[in-house]
Structure 1
Amino acid sequence: MHPTASVQTPQMSFVHSYLFLRRAVGVIGLALPVVLIVGKIVLEGGGTLSSISGYYHSVMRGVFVGSMCAVGTFLLSYRGYNRLDDICGDIAAVAAIGVGLFPVAGPDPTPTQRLVETVHVACAAVFFVTLAVFCLFLFTRTGGEPTRHKTWRNRVYRTCGLVMLACLVLIAAEGLWLADELAALNPVLWLESAAIFAFGVAWWIKGETLLRDP
């Protein structure tokens, strides 16, 4: 073995730390819907709830709040290539923590609980819109001619960004016009799950787990 083969420079440690942050955010996004849905059924019984946010009022509250705060903490630690990356990361971080700490209202809510739920909905919208900006405009940048793997990564990023935006639009449409007709199907739960999964895939790929350049 070359005598310097195992030496890790500060630059290498910095890169590895950021790859870990990206992968950690991605893993949380990929796992959260499954863990909440399955965990509630196993530990508490009953069927699925009407939304991911509704799991705050179940035995999975700690997992939901902890996961959102963890994502927020990771995003606060994240630093991109320029100031715009940092600003978007900070906005998404604050929104993620807000989603966890300001829950949706339970049955027969008080005016204060309705106000808290309004803050929750606003944080959730900001969170997903900001993450869609990451996928559509920030993750897709390149300093020169993109490699074959970079081209494929950009396709994945754009797909994930569009999925998140489409889910937000469909959730809003369901709430405005089809809430009663589709209530039994829990459409918000599955749309939120799809958006969170898309977010997880994008950050997992950004962590160079798949499709990385040789």
Structure 2
Amino acid sequence: MTIRRQSTELARNCPVSTVASAASKKPQQIDQRTLKLLVGLIAIFLANVCSFFAVSAIDSISASYVEGGWARDFFVGSLFAISAFLVAYNGVSTLEKYISKIAAMAAMGVALFPCDCVNGIVEEGAKLSGLTCGQLDAMGRASPVHYVAAATLFIVLTIFCRIFYKRAKDKKHKEAILRMRIYATCGAVMIASIAFMATGSLLHTKFGIPRFTFQGERAGLIAFGISWLTASKVLPGLSSNEERLKLFKGKTPEGPVKPVA
């Protein structure tokens, strides 16, 4: 009898809102849009930063590996970061969840398996850094893993453009329509860059374009970055107020401005 009276008094003295708010508190998780923002920014700047830190005019972004120094560190570090963010990204569908993991493994493959560089200037940079150009596998052959991983990564990222396009098309408001056009353009640029580099490789020509492979890779990466930056919904003109990613909240009862998870 005494126990029942004490529990009744406790329930009366404890506000329902306080109990509900305490029960509803969950560990904060990083927003999927934040992952898109981070991936997009890294992709947009990857090629130019690697080129800036390289000691020579690299003919491909992957040649940053044999350049050594900051070029290699930024190249490998950026791909590891992209891979980690893609592992964490699940999207809103089962397809997105699984292909993001494929893209993550592909990004890791590009970073861990160096390209078979034959550019004379890159070879000189490799000598300065103490590396050998044309890394070989256990059987003494140039490993094809780098090229397979790079092709897989670009193809999967093009599929993401298609997914983002269809999702924006279903929403139909003016900001979504603008995003839809950006996704279509980015997807077309990525497909064109893949086809362009593949054609040049098969025909053994650079079409008279200096640093042919580098230019194709940079165009594809920037298109990929723009599509993910757009999908992050952080830019005011490309997202409605309801769907926009707000990096900072206003004042909260607990104190000053806090970053959104």
TM-score by length of 2: 0.69
Structure 1 alignment gaps of length 5 or more:
1-6
Kindly indicate whether the alpha-carbon contact (under 8 Å) linking 2:43 and 2:225 is maintained by their aligned counterparts in 1: yes
Q: Is structure 2 residue 158 aligned with structure 1 residue 124?
A: no
Alignment of 1:61-72 (within 5 A): 61-72=72-83
Q: Is structure 2 residue 45 aligned with structure 1 residue 31?
A: yes
Kindly indicate whether the alpha-carbon contact (under 8 Å) linking 1:140 and 1:157 is maintained by their aligned counterparts in 2: no
RMSD (Å), alpha carbons: 2.4
Q: Is structure 2 residue 76 aligned with structure 1 residue 49?
A: no
- Alpha-carbon deviation of 1:139? 4.7
How has the CA–CA distance of structure 1 residues 24 and 181 changed in structure 2, closer, same or farther, with 3 Å as cutoff?
A: closer
- For the residues of structure 2 that align with 1:104 and 1:28, how far apart are their CA atoms? 21
Q: Is structure 2 residue 228 aligned with structure 1 residue 203?
A: yes
Kindly indicate whether the alpha-carbon contact (under 8 Å) linking 2:200 and 2:207 is maintained by their aligned counterparts in 1: no
Q: Which has the larger radius of gyration?
A: 2
- The residue type equivalent to 1:160 in the other structure is C
Kindly indicate whether the alpha-carbon contact (under 8 Å) linking 2:110 and 2:146 is maintained by their aligned counterparts in 1: yes
How has the CA–CA distance of structure 1 residues 10 and 72 changed in structure 2, closer, same or farther, with 3 Å as cutoff?
A: farther
Kindly indicate whether the alpha-carbon contact (under 8 Å) linking 2:206 and 2:212 is maintained by their aligned counterparts in 1: no
- The residue type equivalent to 1:195 in the other structure is G
Q: 1:213 aligns with which of 234, 240, 252?
A: 240
Kindly indicate whether the alpha-carbon contact (under 8 Å) linking 1:105 and 1:114 is maintained by their aligned counterparts in 2: no
How has the CA–CA distance of structure 1 residues 212 and 57 changed in structure 2, closer, same or farther, with 3 Å as cutoff?
A: same
- For the residues of structure 1 that align with 2:32 and 2:92, how far apart are their CA atoms? 12
TM-score by length of 1: 0.84
Q: Is structure 2 residue 106 aligned with structure 1 residue 95?
A: yes
- For the residues of structure 1 that align with 2:169 and 2:194, how far apart are their CA atoms? 31
Structure 2 alignment gaps of length 5 or more:
1-20, 119-132, 242-261
Q: Who is 1:162 aligned against?
A: 188
Regions of 4+ moved over 4 Å:
9-14, 142-145
CA deviation profile, 1:66-86 (whole Å, cap 9, x unmatched): 101110100000011111110
Greater RCO structure (CA 8 Å; 6+ sep): 1
- Alpha-carbon deviation of 1:105? 1.9
- Paired residues, what number? 199
Greater shift in the superposed pair: 135-144 or 97-106: 135-144
- The residue type equivalent to 2:62 in the other structure is S
Kindly indicate whether the alpha-carbon contact (under 8 Å) linking 1:28 and 1:67 is maintained by their aligned counterparts in 2: yes
- Alpha-carbon deviation of 1:109? 3.5
